[in-house]
Amino acid sequence: MAISFSKPTGAASRFIGRDLGTVTILSVLGTGMSASVYLGFQRTLRRQVAVKILSKTETMHSRYAEQFRSEAEIVSNLAHPNIVPVHEIGESDDCFFHVMQVVKGESLLSLIAQRRNHPLPAHRLLPIERTIEICCGILDGLAYAHEEGIIHRDIKPANILIETRSGRPLIADFGIARTLRSVQTDGDTILGTPLYMAPECVAGSETDHRSDLYSVGVMLFEMLVGELPLADKETMLLLQRKMTHPETVFTRTPSEVLHTIDKALESIVIRALQPHASARYESAGIFREDLLAYGRMWAARSGAEKGIAV
């Protein structure tokens, strides 16, 4: 396999051409608040990999360094078809890094955006069966992680990768994951993405696996109707509302936004989005089973309407 380096651009490019552990860094794939992701070539197994790098020069004394180590150690122990696997963890003089599988595909965020901007109105939403399939894959991965005592805490479309060939969703970036047994606390720091965060995460209250289920509920709502009917779109106002009046975050139900959403499907979304964790689904597995049952019912009904044997 021939190795070629991308043209260096920006601060993140300083790692291009370097060897980290068994990997040579080839190009920048993306940058975030605390880390950047690169395409690399793992010399030992002669394969392309993704490499997440946290620069010590920028965050050596911050909370992100410990967070990055924790993320890598947690995810390296997870093995599930719907979770992006980690192959190697390492540290050099100026950075922390871990090596992951390259997922050939796109993020759910990108997929939703492409649909939303489609020139034909009839194609601006994912088909219901595809939405259910994606959400069930995510919930399958979360059920496994939760059984291992791990909460993701930042489930959102940008952290869901859709593999092109299989269409399989994979959960990425356990960057703020915590084990359920962890004694760490975050003080007044809010971890996660406000739109998809459960109210208890915003309020700094005790969280558990049901916080991830709320986030899946928000994504399901968004995938079904295209745009979320929010009372507040500005970040600080949204955070404040989730802390003080979490039951008023959404101004309309799914069926009020899109009349083709029936009450059976709407009830699944509403249960996942309950402001109090005790009223939500008890587990990712139960959430998934309800979605699968609805999917079977919808497929049978659709098949009958179209004269298709199911």
Q: What is the pLDDT of residues 81-101, one digit of tens each?
A: 999 988 888 888 888 888 999
Residues 6+ apart with CB under 8 A from 15: 25, 36, 38, 53, 95
User: What topology is assigned to 105-306 in CATH?
Assistant: Transferase(Phosphotransferase); domain 1 (1.10.510)
CATH number of 11-101: 3.30.200.20
Asked if residues 198 and 182 have their Cβ atoms less than 8 Å apart, the reply is no
In this prediction, residue 57 has a pLDDT band, given cuts at 50, 70 and 90, of: low
In this prediction, residue 60 has a pLDDT band, given cuts at 50, 70 and 90, of: low
pLDDT for 181 beyond 60: no
Q: What is the pLDDT of residue 59?
A: 54
Q: What is the pLDDT of residue 302?
A: 79
pLDDT for 189 beyond 60: no
Q: What is the pLDDT of residue 58?
A: 57
Region of poorest pLDDT, from 46-60, 174-188, 247-261 = 174-188
Tokens of 158: 């940008």
**Nearest Cα to 265, choosing from 131, 125, 141, 143?**
131
Structure-model confidence comparison of residues 158 and 190, the more confident one: 158
Q: Which region holds residue 166: left if phi is over 0, alpha if psi is between -120 and 50, else beta?
A: alpha
pLDDT in tens, 103-124: 999 999 999 999 998 888 888 8
- What would the mean pLDDT of 162-182 be, rounded to a whole number? 79
Residues 6+ apart with CB under 8 A from 57: 94
Q: What span, in angstroms and rounded, lies between the C-alpha atoms of 241 and 223? A: 23
Q: Looking at 174-246, which runs of residues are DSSP E strands?
A: 178-179
Q: What span, in angstroms and rounded, lies between the C-alpha atoms of 15 and 162? A: 27
- What 8-state DSSP symbol labels residue 304? H
Run of H or E including 216: helix 209-225
Q: What span, in angstroms and rounded, lies between the C-alpha atoms of 164 and 97? A: 26
Over the chain, what is the mean pLDDT?
86
Q: Do domains 11-101 and 105-306 have the same CATH topology?
A: no
Asked if residues 169 and 137 have their Cβ atoms less than 8 Å apart, the reply is yes
- What would the mean pLDDT of 163-185 be, rounded to a whole number? 74
Run of H or E including 48: strand 47-55
- Which residues does the annotation mark as catalytic? 154
Q: What span, in angstroms and rounded, lies between the C-alpha atoms of 81 and 25? A: 26
Instruction: Read off the pTM.
Output: 0.86
Domain spans in the chain, listed from the N-terminal domain onward: 11-101, 105-306
- What would the mean pLDDT of 234-241 be, rounded to a whole number? 92
pLDDT in tens, 251-263: 999 999 999 999 9
Q: What is the pLDDT of residue 74?
A: 80
Residue 283 Cα distances to 63, 198, 279, angstroms: 30, 15, 11
Please classify residue 92 by burial: count the beta carbons closer than 10 Å to its beta carbon, then call 0-12 exposed, 13-18 middle and 19+ buried.
middle
Q: What is the pLDDT of residue 178?
A: 60
Q: What span, in angstroms and rounded, lies between the C-alpha atoms of 170 and 164? A: 11
Q: What is the pLDDT of residue 76?
A: 82
